[in-house]
Amino acid sequence: MEDKQIVDLYWQRSDLAISETNRKYGRYCHTIAYHICGADEDAEECVNDTWLRAWNLMPDQRPTALSAFLGRITRNLAIDRIKAKNRLKRGGGEAVLALDELEACIPGGKNPELALEEKELAATIGRFVSALPQPAKAIFVLRYWYLAPIDTIAERLQFSRGKVKSSLFRTRGKLRDYLQEEGIC
């Protein structure tokens, strides 16, 4: 079923909306959640919560890219879940590794007064990623949006593991510089 038809089902408050969403995006959302949580049962609960959240958001929202819309919900739910369970340092899937990697993007000279609202930070990251060339952009998004394991990224894009790691290393360095230029500490 086309995304537009699925969205229409939500707007019509049809029970089919969730089953069709699950059929088309169940694996997609489960993969995202599993990458973050590192446990099947947590991932499954995140996916179910995603459908509920989507049901509550549509209407009024009419997402232009349903996959990204659902993926973002799943992602947020999964991050909240591991945070709530305080599992970030005790086996929170790829999130643990990704968080360690992202430490390298945080500019030095921290100044709490300059801390930005998360929304502003998100906009800054959006601009940064938009300006990235390929394939660095795809690799970065797969790693830090999807929390995909490096080995899997390498396998899917048919790059060597080293190429993926070096691309991420360079991009993190650029992000650190960019955040610094933007005055984000």
Partner 1 sequence: MLDSLTLLRAMNGIHEEYVVMAGNLYFDSRQAKRFKTKRIITLALAAALILSLGIAAYAAFFSMAQRVPEKSETFRINWAENESGYIEWSDAKLVVTFPETAESREIEFRPGWLPYELPAELGGSDPWNHLSSDSWFKRLTSETLCFLDGPHAVPSYKGMMQPLLIETYYMSMFNNGGALLLLYYTPDEITEEHWDDLGVDVMRFHATQHFDARPEYNMPEYTLEQDMILMAKPDAGWVVRICGEVGMDTLLKVAKNLEVRETGRTMTSDDFENHYTFMDGGVG
The pair phi, psi for residue 175, each rounded to 5°, is: -65, -40
Closer CB to partner 1, residue 55 or residue 145?
145
Using the minimum distance from each CB to partner 1, give the nearer residue, 13 or 122: 122
**E strand or H helix at 136, and its extent?**
helix 136-144
Shortest distance in whole angstroms from residue 110 CB to partner 1: 5
Nearest approach, Cβ of residue 15 and partner 1 (Å): 26
Q: Which amino acid is at 19?
A: S
Q: Which amino acid is located at 37 in the chain? A: C
Return d(Cα 9, Cα 57) in angstroms, integer.
Answer: 13
Provide, rounded to whole angstroms, the least separation between the CB of residue 64 and partner 1: 7
Distance, C-alpha 181 to centroid of its chain: 24
Nearest to 10 by CA among 54, 76, 42, 72: 54
Q: In the complex, which residues of this chain contact partner 1 (CB under 8 A)?
A: 27-28, 31, 64-65, 67-69, 71-72, 75-76, 79, 83, 88, 95, 98-100, 102-103, 105-107, 110-112, 115-116, 118, 121-126, 129-131, 133-138, 141-142, 144-146, 148, 152-153, 156-159, 170, 179, 184-185
Are the CB atoms for 5 and 46 separated by under 8 Å? Answer: no
**Least Å distance between CB 137 and partner 1?**
6
Q: Which is nearer to partner 1, 15 or 105 (CB)?
A: 105
> Which tokens in the block code for residue 66?
């349903």
Q: Which is nearer to partner 1, 13 or 27 (CB)?
A: 27
52 versus 131: smaller Cβ distance to partner 1: 131
The residue among 114, 124, 102, 119 whose CA lies nearest residue 171 is: 102
Q: How far is the CB of 131 from partner 1 (least distance, A)?
A: 6
